[in-house]
């Protein structure tokens, strides 16, 4: 092969090689552009799916919040901005109750009893910049004001309430999901209302704070102008128990709570599926016998309230102590009868609920729950009190119904008393039907 031929051959091979290399680059660039286009399409689809899922989650949370709202609480504490209204709005409820109980032979023989429960009226609205809220309840056997207060938003995150208002303590607004509340209600530490003033900080920067000073209970304390100190909605201490006193007797020695300071702190944080509040509550006050200071009392509790998707979890643990010399048992009053509690005890609660939006004719939501509470280490050495409520609440238009199956020992309204010593586990099946307007 001549030298020229060799050069020609080299030139031809080089051209072929360069052309092949250039073709490979073009192919790679084309594939890269296709990948980039696919990535953009995937990113766009991901954004659309995320937005769609977010809307679904928001709608679901709205449904869950609607179900979880206790029908018994149609007036909130203005923790969220309120629309200005003109004048006072009137609402209310009528409730009836069916019960079948193991501890009542006559009730069992009749196959249960169906009774009128309560008629209530609610008043709420704004007059100028002042918020007004009140609720009065009419039973067959008594009339009771649950709350009645005026409120004013004096800063962006703060509200002051004055009157008969809710004592800030424990899981809020309730330490339960069922109609019976939890064991804490029957010792005056759940949904309790007293006469005083409260400052409420709305949730901001993940935390909230409630601070209250309560001059006395909602009936005016130990010398309030009432003819029956047990005619009230929420439990309060009304006397002391001597060893010879009956558990349900009217107390011979009257006692009243006064000058009570109460505080509740809650820290809120978000996580996958929902939000959780971790909190601590404490209260402390005096006890008066009508003439002199008879002693002191205090209570504290740690609590957790967590929402994860459609689930709600509540935990609470604490202690209370009514400190009066040589007294191990106190008298309490509510619902027009007297009962007894240990002067000092420990309390623990664990609750779980699952909320489910449905479209079954008028039925729009169900909440399944199991609430458990126990009171133990009692100063009067009485047996433990515990209650477990398994049930479901049903929302259907203006109707809100609780179906509860209760197992309990030494529990008020389930055949016992917190100061009782029964070894029997009692049972009660209960249906409470309410029409709200």
pLDDT score for 9: 43
| CATH T-level topology, domain 69-436 | Porin (2.40.160)
Q: Report, as an integer, the average pLDDT of 314-334.
A: 98
Residue 175 φ/ψ, nearest 5 degrees? -100, 45
Domain residue limits, the chain: 69-436
pLDDT of residue 79: 42
Query: Residue 18: what pLDDT?
Result: 47
Tell me which of 71-80, 107-116, 324-333, 403-412 is least confident.
Answer: 71-80
Mean pLDDT over 286-312 rounds to 97
pLDDT tens-digit map of 358-399: 999 999 999 999 999 999 999 999 999 999 999 999 999 999
Per residue in 118-138, pLDDT (tens digit) is 999 999 999 999 999 999 999
Q: Which of 37-46, 47-56, 182-191, 221-230 has the lowest mean pLDDT?
A: 47-56
State the pLDDT confidence band at 49, using cuts at 50, 70 and 90: low
- The pLDDT mean for the chain works out to 88
pTM for this entry: 0.82
pLDDT level of residue 75 (50, 70, 90 thresholds): very low
Edge-to-edge strand order for the sheet containing 337-342?
253-254, 236-240, 329-334, 337-342
Average pLDDT of the segment spanning 93-103: 98
Q: Mean of the pLDDT values across residues 285-306?
A: 97
Tell me which of 1-15, 45-59, 87-101, 129-143 is least confident.
1-15
Q: With 90 as the cut, is the pLDDT of residue 29 above it?
A: no
């Amino acid at each position: 092969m001549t030298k020229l031929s060799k050069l020609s051959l080299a030139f031809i091979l080089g051209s072929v090689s360069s052309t092949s290399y250039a073709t490979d680059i073009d192919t790679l660039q084309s594939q890269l552009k296709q990948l980039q286009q696919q990535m953009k399409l995937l990113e766009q689809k991901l954004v659309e799916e995320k937005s769609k899922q977010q809307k679904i989650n928001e709608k679901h949370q709205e449904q869950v919040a609607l179900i979880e709202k206790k029908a018994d609480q149609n007036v909130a504490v203005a923790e969220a901005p309120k629309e200005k209204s003109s004048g006072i709005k009137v609402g209310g409820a009528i409730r009836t109750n069916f019960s079948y109980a193991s501890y009542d032979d006559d009730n069992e023989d009749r196959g249960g009893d169906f009774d009128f429960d309560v008629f209530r009226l609610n008043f709420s609205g704004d007059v100028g910049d002042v918020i007004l809220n009140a609720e009065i309840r009419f039973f067959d056997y008594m009339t009771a004001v649950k709350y009645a207060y005026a409120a004013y938003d004096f800063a962006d995150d703060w509200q002051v309430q004055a009157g008969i208002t809710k004592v800030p303590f424990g899981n809020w607004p309730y330490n339960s999901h069922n109609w019976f509340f939890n064991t804490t209600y029957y010792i005056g530490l759940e949904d309790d209302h007293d006469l005083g003033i409260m400052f409420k900080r709305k949730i901001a920067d993940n935390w909230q704070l409630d601070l209250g000073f309560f001059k006395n209970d909602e009936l005016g304390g130990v010398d309030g102008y009432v003819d029956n100190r047990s005619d009230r909605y929420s439990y309060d201490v009304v006397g002391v128990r001597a060893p010879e006193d009956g558990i349900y007797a009217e107390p011979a020695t009257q006692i009243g709570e006064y000058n009570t300071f109460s505080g509740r702190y809650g820290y809120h944080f978000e996580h996958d599926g929902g939000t959780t509040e971790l909190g601590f509550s404490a209260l402390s006050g005096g006890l008066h016998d009508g003439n002199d200071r008879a002693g002191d009392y205090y209570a504290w509790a740690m609590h957790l309230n967590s929402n994860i998707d459609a689930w709600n979890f509540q935990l609470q643990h604490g202690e209370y102590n009514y400190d009066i010399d040589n007294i191990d048992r106190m008298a309490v009053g509510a619902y027009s009868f007297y009962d007894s509690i240990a002067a000092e005890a420990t309390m623990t609660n664990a609750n779980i609920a699952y909320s489910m939006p449905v479209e079954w004719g008028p039925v729009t939501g169900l909440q399944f729950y199991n609430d458990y509470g126990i009171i133990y280490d009692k100063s009067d050495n009485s047996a433990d009190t515990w209650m477990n409520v398994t049930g479901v609440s049903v929302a259907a238009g203006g109707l809100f119904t609780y179906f509860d199956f209760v197992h309990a020992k030494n529990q008020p309204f389930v055949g016992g008393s917190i100061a009782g010593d029964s070894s029997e586990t009692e049972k009660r099946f209960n249906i409470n039907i309410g029409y709200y307007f």
